[in-house]
Amino acid sequence: MSKRFSLCALAMVFSLGCTSNPVSAPTEGASLVHDHHSLSRPSEAKVVHAVIDWTCDFEQKCLYGSVTWRVARAEGGPGVVTLDTKALTIESVAAGREGSLHPVPLDLHPEHPVFGRALVIPLAPGEDHVRVDYRTTSAGSGLQWLSPEQTAERTHPFLFSQAQAIHARTILPCQDSPGVRFTYDATVRVPSALTPLMAARQLGADSDGRTFRFTMPEPIPSYLVAIAVGRVAAADLSPRVRIWAEPSVVEAAAWEFAETEAMIQKAEALYGPYRWERYDILVLPPSFPFGGMENPRLTFATPTVLAKDRSLVALIAHELAHSWSGNLVTNATWSDFWLNEGFTVYFERRILEALYGRARSEMEASLAKNELIDEMKDLDPGDTILKIDLTGRDPDDAFSNVPYEKGYLLLRSLEEAYGREAFDACLRTWFDENAFQSRSTEDFLAHLERTLFVHPPQSEPSVDLHEWIHHAGLPADAPSAQSPEIAEVDRLAAEYVAGRVGPETLPTTKWTTHEWLRFLRALPETTDSAALARLDAALKITESRNSEIRMQWLLMAIRASYGPAMASLEDFLSSQGRRKFLKPLYTELAKTPEGKTFALSIYRQVRARYHPIAQTTIDAILGLQN
Ligand SMILES: [Zn+2]
């Protein structure tokens, strides 16, 4: 199944029909790589600015209103602009010049099951604006509408979006490709008592208190459009950092993320200025399917990282790092996803190293490499290739640690081969020279040729980039993190398994989350119920509310049919919807008939509480058709 993309880099010359406000025209030298995941045709006419007008209807569970696009047309183009849409009800379409639009016939192409429907809008000579009046539908995967019961407060409903990878087209008609960037202005009307937040600059509310205005002055790709609406409170951590959350959560979240400003300063010292004005964090209700989403100016985060000990704040370092890798310099297509995630994991660990010391970042890297090797055993070899072939597939279906951790290891091997100083300079110029652009793997290779490979390698052999990027699996010389702490836990685990130390003598009170995880993972898969009971009696692991430790322990409890942890398992599967936790637990349950029966009995009750992205994953694991 691993047929490679043939990349056709189309260097296009654009003319802006509207010269009065020519922001966001493609910069000189920018190229558009053909994106198999978008039905739009930006090489003919490319959207550059949106005016969004939404009313948020919690009764009907929809956003309705309009989006008006300004379009940059290629010279000699076919006189149309093509947008992606999926699961939208299109009410009317208009085209024309700014301020004088006229209705045009609706031309919606047949539905593709993954990519949706192309909306083709005719443009007469000189016309450069189109407007679509529409409403979202419950079939869309980009918005989740929560009932009051699904929130921490249980008093008001909540809405949040998740547009990555290709869900933006279910929120608004757009050119839903990471290679297309645009700015936007937005007006959002919400019911009283609720506050809308967007990943944009907040311009405040009108006098009615229900109409809110936003502007996004930096050009972004569609997958970074984000909105949340709910009853939220805020706490300021610094002049540019604010924590948003439901009122009962905001204090704990502000404590957990107190080091965010320090992280930004470390990040800036590494790779240049933070260019998005503010870095706010919104802690979402527990059904948020991811750890975090790097929506610009407003990271979305799961409440499952509120561990009360700041042990899981690597997540914030990660989402913050995306302000450079991903948001500032964006993968040109989802096949280049490792450019977003591998860079971000590398950057995240450099922030952690700068803030907490190398021991911490090496512990995280050491654990992650082991996880990657384990995960790769179960993946199709084609899905372990960095420049992955996603032709015809929803990028979400290929989601794994590979772009994250194999990408990290590639960058680390470059650092080790050419020295940190040279590699840091190479990354700094990558971000500076390509700021607010979308770039491909091939662009990065060319950048390495110009900026890194001019230095002599400090170690031989140097890095085989072709193998790293185009071959399955991990190169034999992939770097390994050096963590004496992890080595000591491995030693203790071996002693424990051999019966030479008892659980009471393990130095667990000093252990970090990472040491705990390593210890549990080092125990044999055959560890039985009696052995878990002995550990649990001494260490009270079933009582842990650290989400990472809890997930690992429950996984082992399922394997060993350890009854006393089953109530905790049911509670964990019912009380949060983070796919990282749900997927392995349901997968483990589904391996035995009794486990699958148990899984189905829980899932039938809680499925509606999970996000559509998580539902799709779990439906597949449990063999359900929807
Ligand atoms: Zn990421």
Where do the DSSP E strands lie in 278-436? 280-283, 292-293, 298-301, 329-331
CA of 321 to the centre of ligand 1 (A): 8
Q: Which of 127, 256, 319, 485 is catalytic?
A: 319
Residue 31's pLDDT is: 52
Sorted by sequence, the CB contacts under 8 Å of residue 432 that are 6+ apart come out as 272
| Beta-strand relationship, 195-198 and 117-122 | unpaired
Residue 626's pLDDT is: 56
Residue 13's pLDDT is: 32
What are the tokens at 510? Answer: 């000093």
CA of 318 to the centre of ligand 1 (A): 6
Rounded to 5 degrees, what are φ and ψ at 332? -70, -35
The three-class DSSP label of residue 324 is coil
Active site residue 504: no
The three-class DSSP label of residue 125 is coil
What residues form DSSP beta bridges with 53?
Answer: 66, 187
CA of 319 to the centre of ligand 1 (A): 6
Residue 32's pLDDT is: 64
Contact 499, 298 (CB under 8 A): no
CA of 260 to the centre of ligand 1 (A): 17
Q: Does the predicted model carry a pTM greater than 0.85?
A: yes
CA of 520 to the centre of ligand 1 (A): 26
Residue 340's pLDDT is: 98
Residue 400's pLDDT is: 94
- CA–CA distance, 226 with 284 (Å, rounded to integer): 13
Query: Per this entry, what is the length of the chain?
Result: 626
Active site residue 404: yes
Residue 6's pLDDT is: 27
Contact 221, 438 (CB under 8 A): yes
What are the tokens at 216? Answer: 């996004």
What residues form DSSP beta bridges with 16?
Answer: 72
Residue 27's pLDDT is: 39
Provide Rg for the chain, Cα atoms. 25
- CA–CA distance, 596 with 225 (Å, rounded to integer): 38
- CA–CA distance, 218 with 195 (Å, rounded to integer): 23
- CA–CA distance, 38 with 119 (Å, rounded to integer): 12
Q: Which of 134, 279, 404, 496 is catalytic?
A: 404
Residue 29's pLDDT is: 37
Report which of 264, 401, 376 is spatially closest to residue 322, judged by C-alpha positions.
264
CA of 114 to the centre of ligand 1 (A): 23
Ligand 1 ion: residues within 5 Å (CB) = 341, 344
pLDDT under 70 in the chain at which residues?
Answer: 1-32, 626
CA of 342 to the centre of ligand 1 (A): 8
Contact 51, 67 (CB under 8 A): yes
Residue 592's pLDDT is: 97
CA of 539 to the centre of ligand 1 (A): 33
CA of 569 to the centre of ligand 1 (A): 27
